[in-house]
Amino acid sequence: MATLEKVDVVIVGAGASGSLYASVLAKAGKKVVLLEAGPDWQMTDLISSDFWGRRVKPSGVPFLFEGKNPYGYAYQGGWGVGGAALHYFANFPRYLPTDFKVKSEHGKGLDWPINYADIAPYYDKVAAEIGVSGDAKAEEIWRPKGEAYPMPPMKTFRNGQVWLKGLEANGIRMVPAAVGMNSVDFKGRPACIYDGWCHVGCPIGALANPVITYLADARKAGAEVRALSTVTRILTDASGAKVTGVEYYDAKKEKQVQEASVVILAAWAAQNPRLMINSSTDKHPKGLANSSGVLGKYMMAHYASGTWAMFDEDVEPHMGTVGAQYMSYERYDKNSKKAKGAFGSTYIVAGTALKTSDLGGFANARLDLFGPKLAEFMQRAKRGITRLTAFGEEMPNIENRVELADGKDEFGMPLAKIVHSFSDEAIALWNANFDEGIEIAKATGAKEYWSARGPMPTIHLFGGTIMGEGAGTSVTNSYGQTHDIPNLWVAGPGLFPTEGASNPTYTIFAVSQRGAENLVSKWGSVAG
Amino acid sequence: MSDIERRALIKGAGLSALAFSVGGAEILLSPRQAHAQNIPFRTLTPEQVETLEALGETLVPGAKQAGISNFVDQQLSIPHGEALLEARILNVRPPYANFYRAALSAVDKASQAKNGDKKFAQLSADERYGFVDLMRQNKIEGWQGPAGPFVYLILRSDAVDVVYGTMEGYAALGIPYMPHIAPEKRW
């Protein structure tokens, strides 16, 4: 085992939040090392194929999945530089003011220690930095005013347009979806050509994945990326008052120690608490920065109620982007479906490119079909099928958790399990959104329509290292700095005390930008 | 060759076809080509191939000729980190061969128990269809192995992949493929 020369910052994970932190810190003159467990993907690795797109996702993760609604992982997970954002859909909706104050407004869930106004400037900053297409003015029927997006909305296609009549008939206003994609050339990156391969990675850079944005900037500023490097332990000094670096296995599977003044955990939301618990010492017997006892707790996931519709006309299902064409916060009021026993926000999107295979492909639109009936269905669906999706919110529940489990991974680190069950209110909202989806589809005039029912899905992952007002009830402050150990920081959606209902990456970027700038501004008092 | 070296080779070559062993040398073929050329199997037994091809053809017509068995066999023979199987993104725990062996065995055992000792491949087309319809609904009594609906999902996905997920599959459906970076050999 070698101990490597001390650096200013070691970042665990080169995904969305890690790449942003690396960019900000390297530009501020800090010596930054990113340790990434997966490969160092290049844009040329992003082959337009559902088969080959699976290469950039995890295989054999060191987690077990338990509970009534076990977390589904690999499809949406990241493996390698860029993380999940290497192949994300790049939907960039914001959270709304209500998302930050659920406890205060409704007496359930949790509050964030900050307001929408604290994050809003960073949404604008991120948009200007990496490019967002959309219509901010149109969105402002639901949210406070902000700056215009740097690019106009993306093109729309019939597979999205055909939903508008049904949505309007149900009183649901739609606006152009905000997306992290280029509707026009932006900062040397070309405009999107709408070929619908976003979900396996966009090699031309029209979609703002971290490899072409923040990580590229970080590398230019001198940050070093060490791929195939798996961190197994965070190291602390004898007093337990500060971290001194991390222990990891390099690409040759040899153990190394990287010392650093600051450690930033930017791995997957479940991996960060796994690492922190595995780094227990006599000074931190329940895991690092866990005086609150909530480390690994309050894991949350989104769920979706999809509605399929088949039209006689050719809606060109394969065209567009995998991100949405239209979006709506019309059902975002957390009590909008209270009469059905539901609680939580709903975020609605319409218009998505559909390929044939893989989990999201239209061959899976009727999972009950096989044989000649499936062949016949594919012939009809290739022209007429399209999908509407309503995403739902669950409330934080302390029983939904990450904890170490029996068994070890290839590096000798204990496996972890994610225990996750949806509440009755979340299940009620899921069902209510299916009902409304059918009403919307009916009003479109579609030839056929049906709900995309199956096991209740788990989408995105939040919590486990939540931010809060103090060490009694949370792991970090609003910037991601742990309450207990000032030079140990956490980044990503694990910080979120509530999850809202809309896609999280824009908020992950905004929260990370705010945290990274804060770290730079108080570096002298933080660095160990 | 280590995993890392193999990965570097794959990245360097921009490989999009699959590597099959023929006479000690590795050649790049699509699964359909591998099937047509009777490329030897590396991992699956002849009995498993027979069951897999019968199941694949029942699930998605054309899957046998499209090389479902060659695809799955080749994928099971490489490091799991390089695998392109849908099993990868559905949380199946590697090595993936364990799942396929258990799944194919469960299908044959259930078929034998239900159909007078006949394995799945020995059933008539109607019997195969009826069996799969029950399997997908978890309605086969005495089923032993990975859950029937999950076996259905995984193998149906493999069959959909080789029939509809290739450039040939898109062309057959009349859908423009429109790649940024095209897979080699239309795969």
ipTM, 2 dp: 0.95
pLDDT greater than 90 at residue B5: no
State the CB neighbour count (10 A cutoff) for residue B83. Answer: 24
State the CB neighbour count (10 A cutoff) for residue A178. Answer: 29
Nearest CA in chain B to A196: B178
CB contact at 8 A, A242 and A50? no
B126 burial via Cβ count (<10 Å: 0-12, 13-18, 19+): exposed
The pLDDT mean for chain A works out to: 97
Q: Do A382 and B175 touch (CB under 8 A)?
A: yes
Average pLDDT over residues B4-11: 36
Which residue carries 């259930």 as its tokens? Answer: B110
Q: Which of B4, B165, B181 sits opposite A51 (nearest CB)?
A: B165
Confidence of residue B4 (pLDDT cuts 50, 70, 90): very low
pLDDT at residue B184, as a whole number? 61
- Residues A355-369: pLDDT tens digits? 999 889 999 999 999
- The residue with greater pLDDT, A73 or A75, is A75
Closest C-alpha among B14, B27, B6 to residue B180? B14
Average pLDDT over residues A413-424: 98
Q: Do B180 and A48 touch (CB under 8 A)?
A: yes
pLDDT greater than 50 at residue B15: no
Average pLDDT over residues A36-51: 94
Q: Do B181 and A46 touch (CB under 8 A)?
A: yes
Closest C-alpha among A479, A26, A9, A490 to residue A214? A26
How far B61 CA lies from chain A's nearest CA (Å)? 6
- State the DSSP string of A107-122: SSS-B-SS-HHHHHHH
Distance CA B24, CA A296 (A): 50
pLDDT greater than 50 at residue A168: yes
Where would I find the beta strands (DSSP E) of A312-375?
Answer: 326-328, 346-350
pLDDT greater than 80 at residue A499: yes
State the CB neighbour count (10 A cutoff) for residue B66. Answer: 26
- Residues A92-148: pLDDT tens digits? 999 999 999 999 999 999 999 999 999 999 999 999 999 999 999 999 999 999 999
Residue type, A467: M
Find the DSSP H helices in A76-204. Answer: 102-106, 116-130, 136-139, 158-161, 164-169
CATH of A2-526, one of 3.30.565.10, 3.50.50.60, 3.30.365.10, 3.30.70.3270: 3.50.50.60
- The residue with greater pLDDT, A528 or A444, is A444
Q: Which of B83, B157, B177 sits opposite A59 (nearest CB)?
A: B83
A331 touches chain B (CB under 8 A): no
- The domains of chain A are located at 2-526
CB contact at 8 A, A365 and A385? yes
- Residues B109-144: pLDDT tens digits? 999 999 999 999 999 999 999 999 999 999 999 999
Cross-strand pairs, A459: A302
pLDDT greater than 80 at residue A74: no
Distance CA A58, CA B10 (A): 17
Q: Do B173 and A357 touch (CB under 8 A)?
A: no
Distance CA B127, CA B55 (A): 12
Confidence of residue A184 (pLDDT cuts 50, 70, 90): very high
Average pLDDT over residues B20-33: 81
How far B142 CA lies from chain A's nearest CA (Å)? 22
Closest C-alpha among A372, A377, A375 to residue B128? A372
Q: Do B89 and A74 touch (CB under 8 A)?
A: yes
pLDDT greater than 60 at residue B186: no
- Residues B57-89: pLDDT tens digits? 999 999 999 999 999 999 999 999 999 999 999
List Cβ neighbours of B5 (8 Å cut-off, separation of 6 or more). none
Lowest mean pLDDT among A165-169, A230-234, A420-424, B181-185: B181-185
- State the DSSP string of A445-473: T-SEEEE--SSPP-EEEE-SS-B-SSTTT
CA A102 from chain centre, in angstroms, equals 20
Distance CA A348, CA A345 (A): 10
List Cβ neighbours of A47 (8 Å cut-off, separation of 6 or more). A53, A200, A203, B16, B179, B181, B182, B183
Find the DSSP H helices in A385-502. Answer: 424-444
Find the DSSP H helices in A57-207. Answer: 102-106, 116-130, 136-139, 158-161, 164-169
pLDDT at residue B11, as a whole number? 40
Instruction: Find which of A159, A370, A409 to mutate to test the B interface (most B CBs within 10 Å of its CB).
Output: A370
List Cβ neighbours of B19 (8 Å cut-off, separation of 6 or more). B26, B27, B28, B74, B78
State the CB neighbour count (10 A cutoff) for residue B40. Answer: 12
Helix, strand, coil percentages, rounded to 5, for chain B: 60, 5, 35
Q: Which of B60, B82, B94 sits opposite A55 (nearest CB)?
A: B82
CB contact at 8 A, A128 and A374? no
Cross-strand pairs, A255: A249
Average pLDDT over residues B140-163: 97
Distance CA A192, CA B156 (A): 32
Q: Which residues of A touch B129 (CB under 8 A)?
A: 371
Residue type, A37: A
Q: Which of B62, B91, B178 sits opposite A195 (nearest CB)?
A: B178
Instruction: Find which of B89, B92, B173 to mutate to test the A interface (most A CBs within 10 Å of its CB).
Output: B89
pLDDT greater than 90 at residue B17: no
CB contact at 8 A, A471 and A291? yes
Average pLDDT over residues A225-233: 98
Cross-strand pairs, A315: none
